[in-house]
Amino acid sequence: MPEKPASNEPASQLSTIRDFLRWALTELRAAKVVHGHGTTSAIDEAAFLILEALHLPVDDINPWLDANLLDTEKQKITSLIRRRIDGRMPAAYLVKRAYIHGIPFYVDERVIVPRSYIGELMFSGIFGGDEAPLIEDVSNVASVLDLCTGSGCLAIIAAGIFPRAEVDAAELSADALEVARINVDEHDLADRVSLLEGDLFDAVEGRTYDLIISNPPYVAGGEVQAFPPEYGHEPVMAHLGGEDGLDLVRRILADAADHLNPGGGLLCEIGTGRERLVDDYPQLDFLWLDTEESEGEVFWITREQLLEAGI
């Protein structure tokens, strides 16, 4: 059983942000909360919650460590840490905010907390970078599809990376699209990002694109059932990818070529299913892309490769 955090009220005993960071770290570790919704450690999560509570930049807590807190600020931080521990609620849901590469997005329990490796890859130079990019000239991309858009974060990032592109963001969940609309409006992209409801490519019947990006549900059924409480707060449909996790990935591969323009490609995240996918499609020469936190969980495949393989 996790060690029960101390019950003393810290607001009357602690003064500075440094004090509250130390206290929050102790409490989170004692409670053995599970991370993975934008942070990977207790100290990062404690810092994130404190900085968000105080409406401070989330990239670095150090400049603020010796700042004294008002009583109302102390109470707000205390409440957030207690709610994080007692309800096992992901931190992003508590503050209604998540970040990808420093870009803020609104989130709530209608969508999975954004943390796709594709977001990191899109800023790594694979599009328009100097070293063998997948797409050399981002200005040549006129159309992008973000399939299974969720909160709309990848569609919004794509609109920033490809300045001439019109972006379609497709999603089966009407609830998720409501959150995506909030983000599209907050980023002032309603004129470039279109939100479409439907089951995968059904939402874009007859349309073709220069680039398709997708972070579909890819968790195996047994793994979903064994989720820790934090992950249970997210919509099940945002995780569940069938018995082995790859049902939607296979459907995407089956139809992607029909929705790609000549020279176009598919960038898709699949989690840890690389070995199974390679076994299923020995005729496909997937290009596997790594990030700082992942190895072989995102692939790139072109329209021409799909067609040559008869997919």
Distance between CA 278 and CA 226 in Å, rounded?
26
pLDDT of 6? 45
* The residue to which tokens 């999603």 are assigned: 171
pLDDT of 90? 96
| Mean pLDDT, residues 219-243 taken together | 93
Query: Three-state SS for 146?
Result: strand
Q: Crossing angle for the helix pair 42-53 and 17-31, nearest 10 degrees? A: 130
CB-CB contact of 122 with 154 (8 Å): yes
Distance between CA 227 and CA 164 in Å, rounded?
41
At position 304, the amino acid (one-letter code) is E
Confidence check: pLDDT of 233 > 60: yes
Confidence check: pLDDT of 8 > 60: no
CB-CB contact of 91 with 83 (8 Å): no
* Bridge partners of residue 44, in order along the sequence: none
CA dihedral of residues 93, 95, 100, 103 (deg, nearest 10): 140
Closest residue by Cα to residue 260 from 269, 272, 252, 250: 252
Distance between CA 229 and CA 150 in Å, rounded?
21
pLDDT of 142? 98
Instruction: Note the pTM of the prediction, 2 decimals.
Output: 0.92
**Range list of β-strands (E), the chain:** 98-100, 103-105, 143-147, 166-171, 193-197, 209-214, 260-269, 287-289, 298-302
Query: Three-state SS for 135?
Result: strand
pLDDT of 5? 46
- The tens digit of pLDDT for each residue in 156-194 reads 999 999 999 999 999 999 999 999 999 999 999 999 999
Query: Three-state SS for 26?
Result: helix
Distance between CA 40 and CA 44 in Å, rounded?
7
CB-CB contact of 213 with 144 (8 Å): yes
Q: 301 phi and psi, to 5 degrees?
A: -145, 140
Range in 134-138, 193-197, 260-264, 292-296 with the lowest mean pLDDT: 292-296
Q: What is the DSSP code (8-state) at residue 98?
A: E
How sure is the predictor about 11, in pLDDT bands with cuts at 50, 70 and 90?
A: low
pLDDT of 211? 98
